[in-house]
Amino acid sequence: MRLSVLDQSIATTGHSHREAINNTIALAEACEGFGYHRFWVSEHHSNPIIVGSAPEVLLAAIAMRTSSIRIGSAGVMLPHYSAYKVAEQFRVLDALAPGRVDLGLGRAPGSDGRTAFALNPLANERPAQFPNDVRDLMAWVSGEELPEGHRFRPVKAYPAGETSPDIWMLGSSDYGAQVAALFGLPYAFAWFFTEGRGGAEAIRLYRDNYRPSARFPEPVTGLCVWALAAETDEAARHHFASRARFRLMRDRGIFQPLEPPEVALAHDYSETERMLLARYAEDAMIGTADDVVHQICVLGESLGIDDMAIVTWAYDEQARHDSYRLIAEAFAKRGG
């Protein structure tokens, strides 16, 4: 199993969105040095907290600041866009970082219905076209021919090159698993979206229905999990308080930038709220690096996962870097 990273460019209290974007680029550089296999960035829209709205642009900047780590999207929400334009964007990215680009695809809007309509006035019609769009995108990205009789068969996506991006299908339900199996693509389940609900079933469905492809003769599976490590369990729980507070408010429909942990801990919580915060901590992968890596490996081994992407939120950017470093070191020590 390989360790990777998913970053979401999180806004924090007292800091600009510009800093959140630059933090993502700096983290990519750091994680390359820590030995992570991939660095993926997410796509969200009209969201004041998760501000990475254009992964293809952010990946170009990351490509220029890294040299060996794979970089990719988690993911491009394809119903918003022309498959041909996405192919062109990722052909350019592959020219900037040959042989190390991943094109992760999703079908979810990554936003509310109004925002989806603003992105694409035909948004309500596009999800039904998703399998066809994936088929066309695969051909354009790899430089292969579209099906005989396709009206865009003469159209090619440039720049051409000796390499091409790997396409991944992402999801938090059975649908993405079925599409990935149909086209012989790697599949990553967003475990942190659902706290694992439906994950094992989606992975099993993917493997059971997998159709081998030339590039991926065997199924390739990934999970995205939320984790945070520190030198001590107490320190990890301290930094986790920012994320727990965010989640508590988010579940009430209130979206606020990540607060410093001492501020998050100082709020006057009801008994019910304290129980919820305790449950969030109990369910999360937080603690010392050895404990976190143990949880990651147990989960990965139980499902036969090939690639484990870690999502980490913390108000203190140094705490985030430390968490990724400590996890990478503990994983290497374990023999990962």
Q: What are the tens digits of pLDDT across the range 292-305?
A: 999 999 999 999 99
Burial class (CB in 10 A: 0-12, 13-18, 19+), 245: buried
Tens of pLDDT, residue by residue over 60-111, are 999 999 999 999 999 899 999 999 999 999 999 999 999 999 999 998 766 6
Mean pLDDT of 315-321: 98
pLDDT score for 107: 87
pLDDT score for 110: 63
Residue 187: what residue type? Answer: Y
Residue showing tokens 């199996």: 181
Residue 13 tokens, joined: 């209290």
Tens of pLDDT, residue by residue over 211-253, are 999 999 999 999 999 999 999 999 999 999 999 999 999 999 9
Could you give the 3-state DSSP secondary structure of residue 217? coil
Task: Return the closest-CA partner of residue 322 out of 296, 280, 288, 284.
Answer: 288
Instruction: Please provide the CATH number assigned to the domain covering 2-231+286-334.
Output: 3.20.20.30
- Please check whether residue 34 is in contact with residue 43, taking contact to mean a CB–CB distance below 8 angstroms: no
Tens of pLDDT, residue by residue over 172-200, are 989 999 999 999 999 999 999 888 899 99
pLDDT score for 124: 67
Task: Return the closest-CA partner of residue 83 out of 119, 159, 141, 137.
Answer: 137
CA separation for the pair 6, 258 (Å, rounded): 18
Tens of pLDDT, residue by residue over 9-67, are 999 999 999 999 999 999 999 999 999 999 999 999 999 999 999 999 999 999 999 99
Provide the angle, in degrees to the nearest 10, between the axes of the packed helices 289-303 and 199-208. 40
pLDDT score for 78: 92
Q: Is the peptide bond before 75 cis (omega within 30 degrees of 0)?
A: yes
User: Could you tell me which residues come within 8 angstroms of residue 81 by beta carbon, excluding any fewer than 6 positions away?
Assistant: 119, 120
- Please check whether residue 91 is in contact with residue 112, taking contact to mean a CB–CB distance below 8 angstroms: no
User: Could you tell me which residues come within 8 angstroms of residue 122 by beta carbon, excluding any fewer than 6 positions away?
Assistant: none
pLDDT level of residue 117 (50, 70, 90 thresholds): confident
